[in-house]
Amino acid sequence: MRDLSERSLDTAVQLGASYADVRVVHRLEESIAVKSGRVEGVASGESEGFGVRVIVDGGWGFASSSIVSAAEADRVAAEAVRIARASATALRERVRLDDRPPARGTYETPIEEDPFAVPLEEKIGHLLAADEAARSVDGVAFTETRFDAQRETRTFAATDGSWTEQTFTHVGAGVEANAIEGDEHQRRSYPDADGGTFTAAGYEYVRGLDLPRRAGPLAEECVALLSAPQCPSGRFTVILDPSQLYL
């Protein structure tokens, strides 16, 4: 990423940019879905791209690409300069940047266990165990469990000497039980109403959710809701937790 960034900045300056910066993003994703004892889907993907922003004659220009190569760095930088030069012809006021010290530093989500290094079979087995625990409860119609992981690395470099690199890792997992009786359909999920939640952490977070242990009691609650009395009507004080407030 450093070579690509430096190439983009050098090209932009050579073509007349008084300022230039470049952002390079690399993303890694994985998801696993299990439904009623069957693996419904396993998907993984990797993508990357970069964008160059420049100032020429007081005007901004921007261009980007999903092709990460030296030749593409030259092309994108040249395109950004061309756009900036064109926008400068219609300016009422030229762009002026405030003086600031260069930004330098690195950040990485603190994790104990890399979710992408955990064997796929182990992750699937964890979901199947939770799914089986939920399906073992009489009255459950169908179940769903899932796992998701994302990792994004963002690099920023600028002609003022700035250089930052950030790596963010997020994981999520959840289990859901559904019970049906006549026209009545009840649903319970953990750890939240959507059946899963993301957090900045490694696979240790998924292990900590302990889905196989939580799934059985969750399914029992789901079935119990079929025969639960209806909420009374009237004016009452209702307490909502954060997962409901954001709806």
Mean pLDDT of 216-226: 96
**What pLDDT is attached to residue 91?**
86
The pLDDT, as a whole number, for residue 244 is 65
Q: What is the pLDDT of residue 246?
A: 62
pLDDT one-digit tens code per residue, 199-219: 999 999 999 999 999 999 999
Task: Using the predicted structure, report yes or no on whether residue 152 has a pLDDT greater than 70.
Answer: yes
Question: Residue 47's pLDDT is what?
Answer: 97
CATH fourth-level superfamily of 2-228? PmbA/TldD superfamily (3.30.2290.10)
pLDDT value at 117 more than 90: yes
Of all residues in the chain, what percent carry a pLDDT higher than 90? Answer: 86
pLDDT at residue 155 in the model: 97
Q: What is the pLDDT of residue 198?
A: 87
pLDDT on residue 241: 78
Q: In this model, does residue 179 exceed pLDDT 70?
A: yes
Strands (E), the chain: 19-35, 38-56, 59-65, 104-108, 140-158, 163-181, 184-190, 197-200
| pLDDT given for residue 231 in this prediction | 84
Q: How far is Cα 147 from Cα 223, in angstroms, rounded to an integer?
A: 24
CB atoms within 10 A of CB 71: 9
- Using alpha carbons, select from 52, 156, 153 the residue that is nearest to residue 104: 156
Collect all residues with Cβ–Cβ distance below 8 Å to 124 and sequence separation of at least 6: 32, 34, 39, 42
Are 171 and 149 in contact, with CB atoms under 8 Å apart?
yes
What pLDDT does residue 240 have? 82
Q: In the chain, pLDDT over 70 holds for what percent of residues? A: 97
Each residue of 52-111: pLDDT tens digit? 999 999 999 999 999 999 999 999 999 999 999 999 998 889 988 888 899 999 999 999
Q: How far apart are the first and last CA of the chain?
A: 39
Higher pLDDT, 114 or 97: 114
**Rounded-to-integer distance, Cα 50 and Cα 32, Å:** 28
Q: Does the structure show a pLDDT above 80 at 3? A: yes
Check whether 133 has a pLDDT greater than 80. Answer: yes
